[in-house]
Amino acid sequence: MKMARLSFLAAAAAAALAVVPATAAERYRFGGGPAGGAWAPAVGAGTQLLNKQLGSKYNFQNSPTGGSVANVRQVALGELHTAWGHIVQVYQQWHGTDAFKKDGAKQTFRVVAKVRAQSQIIAVLADSPIKSYADMAGKKVSLLNRGSGSSVNCVNIFEALGMMDKIDARYLGFAESGRALGDRQIDVYCSAGVPFVIPALTQLSIQKPVRYISMTEEEQKKVTDKFKFYSPITIPPQKEVRGVTTPARSFSYDVWWIAHKSMSEQAVYDMLKTVADPANLTQLSKAASYWKDLSGDFDPLKASKILVHPAAARYWKERGAKVPAEVVKGF
């Protein structure tokens, strides 16, 4: 009888365990970017790494998007859990200005890392007669697809220079713009640089060399004076892009990694600890160079009053970064 009773209890316990589901992995959507840009493959490599090393705790889904505008808006709304965004869109969404005025100020997210600085590229085929911005009047200029941060920056350039009503503006994607430039369906390709190249142009240049158009000092000043997020830079010659043999004046701007408040603090910490581990970061950078400069340099956020996630601050402090206390605050 005693043995029978023990067998019954064991069977009952096993049955009880069988109906209790195992703890499900936390699921998070990581916003990527459009085809032909640098963000899509970089985020793809990042999510693959995260799922490989943290798959028992989390599931990260690489979610293609239209770019920075879509990324920031969707994270702010909680439609994405984490993504990258240009400082322009991060600031505007945080404060509810410009392109995000209708949305209103949304502080439902926090910054978790500085990704890197980007530049803006204006390219033509190497044999094009276009030598300056003034030469672009009446020409077909791809300002990239609406919804991408790169497109916003392209529009900002031509607005600052008073040329938006002088060009034949087209809004094509990264890859589509590269094909159109190669086929001479457009004359000019405006794009973000990572930091000074973009895959679609690099690939095109193998068969058809390209050339970057340089701003004059006066043009550069007009752009950086009107848009305070931009800093003047000079893009050096690029060995990997055939035809880019001379320097070109342009501007740079920061890209930030943000996370929605719905992500658990532990998930934010584990995500950073995995991706930013020196060995992992080296491997990621080989797959997608965009990861190479990932850091906890949050000093630029002090002026814009945008906040850093406490879990991110904890991680970067452990790595030796000096995180300003005034920018760290939870929800």
Task: DSSP for 239-274, please give it.
Answer: TTSTT--S-EEEEEEEEEEEEETTS-HHHHHHHHHH
Judge if 147 and 295 occupy the same domain: no
What CATH number does residue 207 fall under? 3.40.190.10
Judge if 206 and 276 occupy the same domain: no
Judge if 30 and 104 occupy the same domain: yes
d(CA 269, CA 34): 27
Using the 3D structure, point to which of 224, 252, 280 is the last residue of a domain.
252
Q: Residue 32: its pLDDT value, please?
A: 92
Using the 3D structure, point to which of 226, 252, 278 is the last residue of a domain.
252
Give the pLDDT mean for 125-136: 97
The 10s digit of each residue's pLDDT in 297-309 is 999 999 889 999 9
C-beta separation of 289 from 46 below 8 A? no
Under the banding of pLDDT at 50, 70 and 90, the label for residue 18 is very low
- Residue 15 forms part of a structural domain: no
Q: Torsions phi, psi of 315, nearest 5?
A: -65, -50
Range of the domain at 136: 118-252
Judge if 128 and 246 occupy the same domain: yes
In which residue are the tokens 């085809």 written?
A: 35
Q: What is the mean pLDDT of the chain?
A: 91
Is the predicted pLDDT of residue 174 greater than 80, yes or no?
A: yes
- Residue 1 forms part of a structural domain: no
Give the pLDDT mean for 163-173: 96
Q: Residue 33: its pLDDT value, please?
A: 86
Q: Residue 301: its pLDDT value, please?
A: 92
Give the pLDDT mean for 279-284: 94
C-beta separation of 99 from 155 below 8 A? no
- Residue 21 forms part of a structural domain: no
User: Helices 199-207 and 174-182 sit at what angle, rounded to 10 degrees?
Assistant: 20
Judge if 62 and 130 occupy the same domain: no
The 10s digit of each residue's pLDDT in 45-104 is 999 999 999 999 999 999 999 889 999 999 999 999 999 999 999 999 999 998 899 999
Judge if 35 and 157 occupy the same domain: no
C-beta separation of 65 from 277 below 8 A? no
- Residue 5 forms part of a structural domain: no
- Residue 18 forms part of a structural domain: no
Q: How many domains does the chain have?
A: 2
Q: Strand pairing partners for 39?
A: none
- Residue 11 forms part of a structural domain: no
Using the 3D structure, point to which of 227, 252, 277 is the last residue of a domain.
252
pTM beyond cutoff 0.85 = no
Judge if 87 and 233 occupy the same domain: no
Judge if 213 and 258 occupy the same domain: no
Judge if 156 and 261 occupy the same domain: no
